Amino acid sequence: MSANSERKKPSTGYALLVLAGVLVIVLGANKLISAPIQPMFLVAWLWIYPMCMRLGYSFQEIDAGVMESIKKGMGAVLTILVVGAMIATWIAAGTVPAIIYYGMKIVSPKIFLAATFLLCCVVSVACGTSWGTMGTAGIAMFAIGESLGIPSGMTVGAIISGSYFGDMLSPMSDSTNVSSAAVGTDLITHCKELGIIAIPVMALTAVIYGVMGLRFGGDAFDGSVVDEVVSAISSEFHVGVIAFIPVVLLLTLIFLKKPAMLSMMVSALVGGVVAVLYQGMDANNIMNVFWTGYKASTGNTFLDTLLNRGGVTNMSATAFMMIFAFGMIGAFNTVGIMEAIIHPIAKKTKSLVQLTLVSEVIAFIGNMMGTNTFSLLMTGTLMAPAYKEYKLHPTNLSKAMTAISTPGCTFIPWNASGIYVIGLFGVGTLSFAPYACLVYLMPLAVLLSVVFKFRVIPASVNLEAGEKYTRKSKT
């Protein structure tokens, strides 16, 4: 009997058992003995390899799939390391301290959550990168939130919501490009159609954060902490216009459609130049900051804790975690673990509403494979034929899967974005998930638009050619 004939397709129950085992090992050890997630993912290989080999695959075959998946994920790993370098030099250049300084002087506790969300929306739409937004504007707003006494989970939830708003809509975002390509629709058409739903959701989300913020401030707010932090920043850094050069440069390069990773690298190096020429840092130390992170010594313990971050090596734990996660994805892809979970769901679509709901569920499950990119490609490939059968424009699918996959990837602790958020802010998924309002509202809004037949576009409408959609054109 050949090796191929001995292979078995995993059942849905078996696939769920394998996933559950990984969760028990990783999260169980984290809760019981406070073990870091990174080494526990490495330990989980003692479960993953045997369970995959029980299906008739050799160690070498599974290992080849693991290595191939890691190879494909190295771009995301390198981006993480570059973001670490950029954070460090932006702090040294006074960019992040300047944002914190002016933010504390302008933003009150009551409007803080709404202001954080809207700022991250603007930056992410301009940059087209959620990671870059969280690592710069997000870090600054997180620092302000800590000083104002805002619960860290709330702050991170608002940062995520704003950062991924732009990631869903900006034509410069990887997510929008992958979504449109995966289903075969025009990029600008996808952005416009999703924007029709996303912009009202953004307004509603801002209102929700505004209401949430009303509980803060008033007589209970101690402004002395803010005064101390502002004073410490002004004594340690120059906070003039020059400190914002790295921000302006990054936005300019990305607006010119230069690759995001290279744009962040250039901005990081220019940040180092500003740190030397404007902030007076010793030129001999700037590459140490680039590599190991900024070491603050303002005399304010609270501020020093917030600014002691960044650097390539300080992102190593996050990078290792991503490598382990990508490897796990490769093993699961090789033996069909995720396929066994997804196909039974995809087969049970009996209506247009169910089709949309199933697309969203599959896109969210796809994030368990490690990246939003993979989720979008998988969902688009799997569900596109069903949308053709229903005679629907492919943009209907791109909206449904992007609305949940792109922001929802932060809810999966081993997804590249989930790992990045936890590593960047040091806040666990369960702490920020309840407050990441956009993650819930976007897929709900897309689903309701189908329920009430709003912008359900038939395939007969040629949006790319500028043909207008009306309710009369529905099939």
Segment 389-420, tens digit of pLDDT: 788 888 889 999 999 999 998 998 878 788 88
pLDDT greater at residue 458 or residue 54:
54
**Which of 56-60, 65-69, 167-171 is predicted least confidently?**
167-171
**Which of 119-123, 196-200, 375-379 is predicted least confidently?**
375-379
Burial of 71 (0-12, 13-18, 19+ CB in 10 A): exposed
Instruction: Pick the closest to residue 113 from 163, 166, 150 (CA basis).
Output: 150
* CA 32 to mean position of chain CA atoms: 28
Radius of gyration of the chain (CA): 23
Is the confidence at residue 271, as pLDDT, over 80?
Answer: yes
CB atoms within 10 A of CB 231: 15
Cα distance between residue 41 and residue 23, in whole Å = 9
Cα distance between residue 114 and residue 106, in whole Å = 13
The CA distances from residue 176 to 164, 186, 205, 329, in Å, are 11, 10, 21, 23
Q: Which single residue is written with the structure tokens 């960047």?
A: 424
**Which of 151-165, 194-208, 356-370 is predicted least confidently?**
356-370
Contact status, residue 457 vs residue 193, Cβ threshold 8 Å: yes
Q: What is the mean pLDDT of residues 16-37?
A: 77
Q: Residue 1 has what pLDDT?
A: 39
Q: Of the spans 90-99, 331-340, 400-409, which averages the highest pLDDT?
A: 400-409
Q: Which residue type, as a one-letter code, is found at position 168?
A: M
Q: Residue 153 has what pLDDT?
A: 93
Cα distance between residue 126 and residue 268, in whole Å = 18
Rounded to 5 degrees, φ, ψ at 236 are: -100, -30
Cα distance between residue 338 and residue 12, in whole Å = 9
126-173 pLDDT, tens digit per residue, is 666 788 788 777 887 888 888 778 899 999 999 999 999 988 887 767
Is the confidence at residue 30, as pLDDT, over 50?
Answer: yes
DSSP-derived 3-state class of residue 298 = coil
Is the confidence at residue 3, as pLDDT, over 60?
Answer: no
Q: Residue 464 has what pLDDT?
A: 63
% of the chain surpassing 70 pLDDT = 89
Q: Which single residue is written with the structure tokens 């969210």?
A: 364
Q: Residue 221 has what pLDDT?
A: 53
DSSP codes joined into one string, 201-243: HHHHHHHHHHHHHTTS-GGG--THHHHHHHHHHHHHS--SGGG
Contact status, residue 325 vs residue 415, Cβ threshold 8 Å: yes
Contact status, residue 361 vs residue 349, Cβ threshold 8 Å: no
CA-angle at 133, arms to 127 and 136, nearest 5°: 120
Q: Residue 387 has what pLDDT?
A: 84
Q: Which residue type, as a one-letter code, is found at position 403?
A: A
227-270 pLDDT, tens digit per residue, is 777 888 888 888 889 998 998 888 788 778 777 678 888 989 99
Q: What count of Cα atoms within 13 Å lies in the side-chain half-sphere of residue 21?
A: 18
Is the confidence at residue 73, as pLDDT, over 80?
Answer: no
Per-residue pLDDT band for 79 (boundaries 50, 70, 90) equals confident
Cα distance between residue 238 and residue 304, in whole Å = 16
Instruction: Pick the closest to residue 271 from 105, 142, 136 (CA basis).
Output: 136
Q: What is the mean pLDDT of residues 468-473?
A: 60
Is the confidence at residue 439, as pLDDT, over 50?
Answer: yes
Q: Residue 2 has what pLDDT?
A: 42
Q: Residue 149 has what pLDDT?
A: 81
Per-residue pLDDT band for 207 (boundaries 50, 70, 90) equals very high
DSSP at 471: G
Q: Of the spans 225-229, 287-291, 302-306, which averages the highest pLDDT?
A: 287-291
DSSP-derived 3-state class of residue 9 = coil
Contact status, residue 109 vs residue 216, Cβ threshold 8 Å: yes
Q: What count of Cα atoms within 13 Å lies in the side-chain half-sphere of residue 213?
A: 22
Burial of 401 (0-12, 13-18, 19+ CB in 10 A): buried
Q: Of the spans 39-48, 185-194, 203-212, which averages the highest pLDDT?
A: 203-212
Contact status, residue 85 vs residue 309, Cβ threshold 8 Å: no
Q: Residue 330 has what pLDDT?
A: 83
Q: Of the spans 172-176, 330-334, 406-410, which averages the highest pLDDT?
A: 406-410
**Structure tokens belonging to residue 292:** 């190991």
Is the confidence at residue 321, as pLDDT, over 80?
Answer: no
**Structure tokens belonging to residue 28:** 């169980």
Per-residue pLDDT band for 301 (boundaries 50, 70, 90) equals confident
Is the confidence at residue 474, as pLDDT, over 60?
Answer: no
Cα distance between residue 408 and residue 432, in whole Å = 12
Is the confidence at residue 46, as pLDDT, over 80?
Answer: yes
Domain locations along the chain: 73-315
The pLDDT mean for the chain works out to: 82
Confidence (pTM): 0.67
CA-angle at 454, arms to 452 and 460, nearest 5°: 125
DSSP-derived 3-state class of residue 463 = helix
**Structure tokens belonging to residue 102:** 């002016």
Q: Residue 275 has what pLDDT?
A: 92
Cα distance between residue 418 and residue 367, in whole Å = 10
pLDDT greater at residue 192 or residue 182:
192
CB atoms within 10 A of CB 471: 9
**Structure tokens belonging to residue 388:** 């053709």
